[in-house]
Amino acid sequence: MVPDLSAPKPSMLEAVSNPPSNPAARPTGRTSLEDRFIPVRIEAIVNAIDAHPERFGELSGWARKISHAIDRVITLEVGELHRHLDRLYASANPDLDALAEPNPAWTTIDERLGSALGYLFDRASFIPLTNVGIEEAIAASSAYGLRVRIRPDRIESLAIHVRGRSTVELIKRIRSRPWKRRTIDIEVYTRLAVVARLRGEEGLRLKLFRDIPVADVEALLPHAEATMSAMDRAMVIALAAGSLGSLAKVISTGATSTGALAIPATIGLGGMAIRSFFGYRRKQKLRTAHRTEHLYEKNLANNAAVLHTLCRMIAHEESKTAIVAYAMLAARHDLPEDRRWPMDELPARANSFLHRRFGVTSSFDAPTALETLERLGLMTEPSLADPDRTLATVEAHWKTRDTIAHHVHAISESPTQEPGSTGKERASS
């Protein structure tokens, strides 16, 4: 039985709310994370649709115009979302250089901020890294040889969100033969966000990073401190032991009286202590500099800039999923009724299209795509049958601005939650 495309919104989303039984709808990859992110530019997707009239029928040739119109409406909605988030984050922004009206800066964090951030990360296709995931990452060996000491007692709250997981090549020296190098593959999170609040601080820190090795997650935590590796400690001890050379020389020359040994022994042991102390401090500074350089090169945005970046990500992802879903449903509508595939096959067909055309693997976010099409009035028979009608419908939404507060309303209906609740659980464990 072919689903009724003119049915109300709840029934339209019901078909894809549960995971489909078709294994093709659950792409396999290197991770168990359900990665909804589509690592393809929207321009490439539109070009692929326009270049295949045999598959997408009359829509080919219209995809660019329709995609542009959808993107304008989505950008309008996300712009209002950004303004709303900026107001909520004002009293918690450590970089704020103006009073947060109507209250002065450094007041209590707005209780709605936690729900807003949770909504923001979810719509941007991020996935929260659970306590178990954080512990596993911290227990792993550091990809860059960086050792970090964790200070849970300094955490008030902490949450980590990730998007995308892939592998990159890293050149490392072979320990047994340091003059030689080898290439290894390491797993990385393509995007990683940290939401943290430290004890004694009023603000909420937001950090966004790129291409972070799974084994280096602990280096990103704001309360972490760089420490020395076992090799570093061995080198410090070896250098300090050299300070005892003068004492050994005196003993070897036959000095046996206590007075004769006292001064060289004092100098030797004192020198060892001083060289050990300053050697340790020097190595610790080098490790801290290593960590700072590593984070600087990987850092994408901080605090309010993170909100702006995430809003841009939301606009990109919604535009991509909307045009892919519309292309699939329009092509389905052109088929005879007895040949139309069930609606719950949409995720699998979208995944198959993206994989065959671009070689990427993702878990297509069909509920969000259908929600967007419903909101823009594109799930009706006339819109699916006539691209010109679709374009006129979307442009009307842009002119009337009737969906501009969509995300703000969705946040207001979300349950209240504490920002960075994962960190509180971790700190208390």
Mean pLDDT per 10-residue segment, the chain (429 residues): 35 33 32 71 94 88 94 96 93 80 54 90 88 51 48 77 81 69 81 86 88 71 53 55 55 55 59 60 56 71 95 96 95 88 93 93 92 94 90 95 95 75 39
Six-digit token pair at 395?
A: 């442009």
Q: What is the rounded distance in angstroms from the CA atom of residue 149 to the CA atom of residue 163?
A: 25
Which ranges of 215-344 would DSSP assign to H, the alpha helix? 230-241, 245-252, 258-298, 304-333
* Nearest partner of 190 among 142, 259, 124, judged by Cα: 124
* Nearest partner of 391 among 377, 403, 401, 374, judged by Cα: 377
Other CB atoms within 10 A of residue 134 CB: 20
Query: What was the pLDDT predicted at 29?
Result: 33
Q: What is the pTM of this model?
A: 0.71
Query: What was the pLDDT predicted at 2?
Result: 32
Query: What was the pLDDT predicted at 278?
Result: 60
Question: Helix 42-50 vs helix 63-89: angle between axes, to the nearest 10 degrees?
Answer: 160
Q: What is the rounded distance in angstroms from the CA atom of residue 272 to the CA atom of residue 270?
A: 5
Query: What was the pLDDT predicted at 109?
Result: 65
- Bridge partners (DSSP) of residue 186 are 168
